[in-house]
Amino acid sequence: MEANFDGLVGPTHNYAGLAFGNVASARNADQASNPREAALQGLDKMQALAKLGLAQGVLPPQERPNLSALRALGYVGKEARVLEKVWHEAPGLLAAVSSASSMWTANAATVSPSADTADRKVHFTPANLCSNLHRSFEPETTSRVLRAVFEDATHFIHHAPLQSTPALGDEGAANHTRLCAEYGEAGLELFVYGQGSESEPAPENYPARQTRAACEAIARLHELDPARSLHLLQNPAVIDQGVFHNDVIAVGNREVLLYHQDAFHDVDALKRWLRTSWRGARAPVLIEVPREHVSVEDAIGSYLFNSQLVCTPDGRMHLVVAQECRENLKVWAEIERIVEAPDNPIVDALVFDLRQSMRNGGGPACLRLRVVLNEPERAAVNPMCWIDAAKLEALRDWVRTHYRDRLVLADLADPNLLDESRTALDLLTQILGLGSIYPFQR
């Protein structure tokens, strides 16, 4: 089965315009955010997918503002004074160390299921996220979180994040797609990168965050069969339009790959690879959305391809989309065409209001890390991290008690916000049985 581990939105969720090349982040910079609503919207999605019978887990937010990062950059003295000083001297730095960006767990790590790896274990490599300062603070705690949730070394292997340098930029599962006939059978792993060799085309306006070198290193570390993994160049022209991760322009699940006509530099290479490498009873299903139906701009505005494609226990496939898809007539018409077409297994579209996350360029697929698990592996996951009715109630109460309903950038300097966040996170580690994963707890 495939489990989804959604990131819980943190108490400092805000709009700081930090992610260059992510148009929603730039457009909504300096708006007031609502962390409480953001977290509750995320929980609603988790609840709905759990109700459908999917294995749904949750990953905690990180400690923000990140005081240890500020200390490492030379800020000394009382915490309240440090926050005030940074706010006056370097407000952009305060925003960077306060971002709740770990909520987008599609960027937490790349995960290869045991059916694909030579040692038959589930492999995790946390993403170094070195393209953006605010995200580069995540891997340390992410590593601790993943080890606390997937602890059992008989099933789970945790690699260190790759060296944090532009030549090895890695953004995790957002650029990684696994295709297979059945989850438990050996699959094909597709790695999509934006920065390859000098001779390959590259974007001109916006950064290519994912490097081919990182993809290749992860495939080696995860002991994948080279014949069953492909490294494919993203179309640099779409990166320049705001497709900062492949999951903004393509999504795959089981045998289905749904992608935009302009997603890849050489889509024929992908088709050839699928033809020659595919195994298993179900044939691959490619759903290519033509630019005449949906422009790249509409794809980015609606996040059509940042939908989740999930299978319920009856094997039926569902498209989990953001409300913005329904509000765009062309996109909604395309979704209706996909759902009605007899030659693909997608039976319906489930619509969610994720506006708080969407305003930072984070849709349904950004908010989850997929982990394919067999029964013994599923049983070995930290049981307190699964979503059920009781956990949801506890998390909703926790959010309502500890989260603010309005946050602007100046609030990040408020020492009370730091205290509130730490109190909340300390309780959360108990609710999720995680132990001391945060710097302030150690």
Ligand X SMILES: N=C(N)NCCC[C@H](NC(=O)CCC(=O)O)C(=O)O
Give contact residues for ligand X (rule: CB under 6 A).
Answer: 15-19, 22, 25, 99, 101, 104, 106-107, 135, 174, 244-245, 247-248, 360-362, 366
Structure-token match 């701009």, residue found: 297
Partnered with residue 56 across adjacent β-strands are 4
Give 143 or 357: the residue with its C-beta nearer to ligand X: 357
Whether 263 and 295 have beta carbons less than 8 Å apart is answered as no
Give 414 or 426: the residue with its C-beta nearer to ligand X: 414
Annotated binding residue 209: yes
Q: How far is CA 287 from CA 129, 193, 234, 253, 271, in A?
A: 30, 21, 17, 12, 12
Annotated binding residue 277: no
Annotated binding residue 378: no
Give 101 or 114: the residue with its C-beta nearer to ligand X: 101
What is residue 8's DSSP assignment? P
- CA 78, distance to chain mean position in Å, is 34
Structure-token match 């498209």, residue found: 319
CB burial of 207-232 (b: ≥16 within 10 Å; e: otherwise) equals bbbbbbbbbbbbbebbebeeebbbbb
Q: Shortest distance, CB of residue 102 to ligand X, whole angstroms? A: 10
Helices (H) and strands (E) in the chain, counts: 17, 15
Give 176 or 265: the residue with its C-beta nearer to ligand X: 176
Q: Shortest distance, CB of residue 257 to ligand X, whole angstroms? A: 17
Out of 2, 37, 138, 171, which one is annotated catalytic?
171
Out of 155, 245, 260, 265, which one is annotated catalytic?
245
Instruction: Count other Cβ atoms within 10 Å, centred on residue 53.
Output: 12
Q: Shortest distance, CB of residue 417 to ligand X, whole angstroms? A: 15
Q: Shortest distance, CB of residue 96 to ligand X, whole angstroms? A: 9
Strands (E) across 219-298 are located at: 229-233, 250-253, 256-260, 285-289
Q: Shortest distance, CB of residue 174 to ligand X, whole angstroms? A: 3
Q: Shortest distance, CB of residue 146 to ligand X, whole angstroms? A: 17
Give the CA radius of gyration of the chain.
Answer: 20
Annotated binding residue 250: no
Letter for the amino acid at 318?
A: H
Annotated binding residue 422: no
Out of 366, 377, 385, 402, which one is annotated catalytic?
366
Cβ neighbors of 54 (< 8 A, separation 6 or more) are 2, 3, 4, 310, 312
91-98 helix and 79-89 helix, angle to the nearest 10 degrees: 120
Distance CA 48, CA 39 (A): 14
Give 22 or 143: the residue with its C-beta nearer to ligand X: 22
Distance CA 270, CA 436 (A): 44
Annotated binding residue 253: no
What is residue 216's DSSP assignment? H
Annotated binding residue 298: no
Annotated binding residue 17: yes
Give 137 or 429: the residue with its C-beta nearer to ligand X: 137
Q: Shortest distance, CB of residue 263 to ligand X, whole angstroms? A: 14
Cβ neighbors of 327 (< 8 A, separation 6 or more) are 302
Distance CA 253, CA 372 (A): 11
- Answer yes or no: 171 catalytic: yes
Return the H-helix or E-strand segment holding 311. strand 308-311
Whether 338 and 280 have beta carbons less than 8 Å apart is answered as no
415-431 helix and 79-89 helix, angle to the nearest 10 degrees: 120
Give 91 or 435: the residue with its C-beta nearer to ligand X: 91
Distance CA 270, CA 272 (A): 6
Quote the tokens at residue 241: 């339009």
Annotated binding residue 24: yes
Give 117 or 306: the residue with its C-beta nearer to ligand X: 306
Annotated binding residue 404: no
Residues in binding site: 16-25, 107, 134-135, 209, 247, 360
Q: Could you list the active site residues? A: 171, 245, 366
Residues in binding site for substrate: 16-25, 107, 134-135, 209, 247, 360
